[in-house]
Structure 1
Amino acid sequence: MRKKREWKGPNLSSFELSHVPEPLLEFAANGRHVDVRFGLMDYGPVDFSTERTKEIRLGVVGSSQTVGKLGEWLRRCEGGIPAKNSRQPNLFPAFPGSTILGPFRCSFEIGTRHVRTMSPLLISRIVSEKDDDTAIALAVEAFTNEVKDLAEQDQPPQVVICALPVEVIERVSNMRIIPPDDSPADDSEDEIEAEDAPVVDREIENFRGALKAATLALRIPIQIVWPTTYDNDATVKRKLAELSTRKVQDEATRAWNFFCALYYKAGGTPWRMVRDQREYSATFMGVSFFEGIDGTSLQTSSAQLFDDRGEGLILKGGPGLKDKTDRQPYLSALDAFNLTRTALQTYKREHGNYPARLVVHKTSRFHPEEREGFQKAIEQSEIEIADFIWMPRRSPVRLFRNGVYPPLRGTAMRLDDEQTILYTRGSVDFFRTYPGLYVPNPLLLHAQRRDTPDWSFLLKETLALTKMNWNGTQFDGALPITLKAARQVGDILKYVPDGTTPDPRYRFYM
């Protein structure tokens, strides 16, 4: 239902409220569901075929303790993990198991040839190193050497799990509140305001980014995992706090997220956006900026390119500039052209043709120079339809509803022809609750070029893109995947030497 109310803000006389229904996702056999986990249970992954039995080969690198404990947990997951006691069964479903009868319709196997155990002497050398940067470099080198050894086998694993020992984690991190591994313990940081967000410790981020960058050339995705993912008794000390332990998800949710990430990294597609065949084929590009290793150099750009089939491509661009008036980063016309042109050519090599429509997302304003470069690349690729959407990190407007729960996910408020706010986090009918911990902040969508006439179509599309994070299975993400991937991609690309072209597939950056 749409309602009209008076808006008291400057330059606005009225606004329009609406609600975007929860987008469906596509699974095997053309199955549809709003929820990732129930869709996988009911239909299986979208690329499932009854004509072949799928087995995913896993490798493991870690200490004797982490390798052993992880192996025990993986075997237990085969029989399934029960749901936690909760009044929201749709929010916390049981994990049915990791065999061919489970939600991913495949088995996950670790052969004895694919296990590498790091020596206690090597781990001791890392832990005892007094210099932080040297300790991180030693840890990166140790894991990279083992992954390289596995990659050189005749039949290498499809994904290598790096099971970090507690003592290594504590050495390479100051242990503040952080998203610690490739299966985040809690996605609630997406709804926290910037100044209220937990401090992200750079040492652990540097270790993760450097390790991911070092293994890109090996062409085998890695999955970094902490003991708290698979061992309920494991604790990791937080320096600067009194031995408190990080909050982790319930075990069934951890299993869902862990195996979903493994499936995608191994080349599978768990789900994808539902596309109407009558609509133009589209691809979505997120443009972001990140700082160099020294933290002081000019920001560099990257493009996160995703299509509605779930394929993701990552490209490194040229240096960023800063606007003299508002200090927002942007690209020169030439660099914007080159980045977009390279992204579209990479898309064409993967798909055989250019998309009919390109949607560009940014968290900073589209500078006139930048727009000129984007538009020139689009014209040369003969793409006639494009939308440039600026999504600032903070919305100036929030909505409140009666009662204790925040607005429904999908609630939208049209401000004017160019601006709309959209609640991507909020109360969820399917969960029968609000699953977050903090007051949600809506996205502000500011269209700086809009060839798509229908705002409701753009909102539906943006909401669907928040469900395309294959690193987790709770569908109510705060950001579209084009922008969600930006920080983790930047933390890896800054370690990639200039002049090298890393593998562009997103599965290597998760």
Structure 2
Amino acid sequence: MKLQIVEEPQLAFFQNDLHVDIRAGLSTFGAFDKGSASVPTPIRIGMIGTTATVDGVRDWLERCKDGVPSDEQKLKALRPAFPGMTQQVFGTSLELSDTLTRTITRHELTAALRNGNPLPHLVEVFMDHARDLASKSGLHVLVVAPPPEVFALGDVSQGIGIDPPIDELQQPAPEQEVAPPSVLNFHDLFKAQAIDLQLPCQLLRPDTYGSPTAGRVKGRRIQDKATTAWNFHTALYYKAGGVPWRLARQPALLTTCYVGVSFFKSVDGDKLMTSVAQVFDERGEGLIVQGGSASYDKDDRSPHLSEDDAFALLANGLATYRREHKNMPARLVMHKTSSFNAEEKAGFRRAADNEKLEVLDLVTVRRSGVRLLRAGQSPMIRGTSLLFDDASGIVYLKGTVPYFQVYPGAYIPRAIEFIREDGETSSAELARELVGLSKLNFNNTQFDSGDPITVRAARRVGDILKHVPANKKVNARFRYFT
């Protein structure tokens, strides 16, 4: 066994200038593709809400134009001021006009809320306006701002920039135990209906732009005002087509594609699970590929694919990658929260061999029951990894962050375990990659996310896809799911 600490991975910003911190990098250098043709200037946003929420969002955006000061007195690197969408940072601005705003009337809202099953009716009310706005040319992002009573109908802990109080990966993986039926919420139902609009949507909670107590969900952490502004504006930049930052690429390493594989059940939990792959390039752009049905293995109680379905899933994922990038990666890393059986390995290998990939790493990633302790009262340092051998180990993606000089979390961090079940990459390199992939969540500008983007995306995509009708065309880009 070997104990080591992975150095905080560098991120690339404008003109490939490097920094370990997202907000410091954006403030100092600017977004990675600032000024490129893929970033609209200005970013034209449409908005749907009630009179009160539309006015609240307008006022908040106006206040954010000139920046939002930080209330932090000591840990200024952890909670820096938001400078606004300046030429230095994002190189663009937001534009919202009355013609691109739709107001939900009190009558529409009340009628939907009085229904015995109000959520689907509320979604349809908002979707009627969304379809109308999506038909307008030149619109880049749609902001949806429901009132507090809509959010009160279901828990929406995945709002803009807010991580769950306990990281998703710390919870038992849904495919490893019998889960209760899903809790319906407006966020996931609306995203499922809007997935074919060809217009990215951003839902906003009242506590983002208004009172800290408005529409507050029990257990939801409220961020400081500057952090909220950072997260919202960065997410809008990404959804409009921009790349805020990317992992700094080491020239000596092979060009790599990362794939997260997950499974999800129907809303009632009765139907067989369906596989889905999230294909990420080194820029962090995600592409969604749906696969075939899965079945539980009676021995390990985990879902698995047949060899043919495993082959089809990865073959379709690589075809999607080729259409996007006009080439193939030299190496592919697949993350899965359950083990790989013999049929899956054979199917994935066959798909990789067909495209002549040089390296295929099949890696199981899951929460770990192993804990490491350090002297004193501070939690483990982020990046601490214990390598069991050349193919497995644990790594802390949350913990004390030397750059911040503090542990930013509210709960005792837990490590994740990784096992390379096939391939050749060392455990030290796999641990380094997992730490890096935890910095590619474009909805959160605090970089110590508790799970890699491959796993985080798997959960979010599954939460939404389970509500998508079978005949609805799904947009392949991950930015439509966040």
* TM-score, normalization by structure 1: 0.89
Q: 1:45-60 residue pairs with structure 2 within 5 A?
A: 45-49=31-35, 54-60=41-47
Name the counterpart of 1:84.
71
Residue 48 of structure 1 and its aligned partner are, at CA, apart by 1.1
Residue 25 of structure 1 and its aligned partner are, at CA, apart by 0.3
Name the counterpart of 2:102.
116
Name the counterpart of 2:201.
222
Runs of 4+ with deviation above 6 angstroms? 50-53
Q: 1:405-444 residue pairs with structure 2 within 5 A?
A: 405-444=378-417
- Once the two structures are superposed, residues 94-129 of structure 1 have per-residue CA deviations (whole angstroms, 9 ceiling, x without a partner) of 11113435x222101101211000111001112222
* Match status 1:70 vs 2:57: yes
Label 1:236 to 1:440 Cα distance change in 2 as closer, same or farther (>3 A). same
* Match status 1:289 vs 2:263: yes
State the distance in 2 between where 1:504 and 1:247 align: 31
Label 1:412 to 1:188 Cα distance change in 2 as closer, same or farther (>3 A). same
State the distance in 1 between where 2:320 and 2:36 align: 31
Q: Is the 8 A contact 2:13 2:245 kept in 1?
A: yes
Residue 293 of structure 1 and its aligned partner are, at CA, apart by 2.4
Alignment partner of 2:128: what SS? helix
Name the counterpart of 1:493.
465
**Residue in structure 1 matching 2:144, options 150, 153, 162:** 162
**Residue in structure 1 matching 2:245, options 263, 268, 271:** 271
Residue 292 of structure 1 and its aligned partner are, at CA, apart by 1.0
Give the gaps of 5 or more residues in structure 1.
1-14, 239-243
Alignment partner of 2:101: what SS? strand
* Match status 1:402 vs 2:375: yes
* Match status 1:280 vs 2:258: no
Q: Is the 8 A contact 1:190 1:478 kept in 2?
A: yes
Structure 2 residue identity aligned to 1:74:
L
State the distance in 1 between where 2:346 and 2:40 align: 50
* TM-score, normalization by structure 2: 0.94
State the distance in 2 between where 1:138 and 1:93 align: 41
Alignment partner of 1:60: what SS? strand
Residue 217 of structure 1 and its aligned partner are, at CA, apart by 1.4
Name the counterpart of 1:462.
434
Q: 1:235-246 residue pairs with structure 2 within 5 A?
A: 235-236=214-215, 246=220
* Match status 1:33 vs 2:16: no
Residue 192 of structure 1 and its aligned partner are, at CA, apart by 7.8
Residue 236 of structure 1 and its aligned partner are, at CA, apart by 2.4
State the distance in 2 between where 1:376 and 1:33 align: 39
Label 1:73 to 1:204 Cα distance change in 2 as closer, same or farther (>3 A). farther
* Match status 1:247 vs 2:204: no
Alignment partner of 1:232: what SS? coil
* Match status 1:104 vs 2:90: yes
**Residue in structure 2 matching 1:182, options 147, 154, 160:** 160
Q: 1:133-144 residue pairs with structure 2 within 5 A?
A: 134-144=117-127
State the distance in 1 between where 2:30 and 2:141 align: 21
State the distance in 1 between where 2:172 and 2:456 align: 18
Label 1:53 to 1:489 Cα distance change in 2 as closer, same or farther (>3 A). closer
Structure 2 residue identity aligned to 1:213:
A
State the distance in 2 between where 1:378 and 1:418 align: 20
Q: Is the 8 A contact 1:86 1:92 kept in 2?
A: no
Give the gaps of 5 or more residues in structure 2.
none
- Once the two structures are superposed, residues 65-108 of structure 1 have per-residue CA deviations (whole angstroms, 9 ceiling, x without a partner) of 0000110000000011111234211111111113435x222101
Label 1:497 to 1:221 Cα distance change in 2 as closer, same or farther (>3 A). same
Residue 210 of structure 1 and its aligned partner are, at CA, apart by 2.1
What value does the CA root-mean-square deviation take over the aligned residues? 2.2
Alignment partner of 2:287: what SS? strand
State the distance in 2 between where 1:70 and 1:195 align: 36
Label 1:180 to 1:446 Cα distance change in 2 as closer, same or farther (>3 A). closer
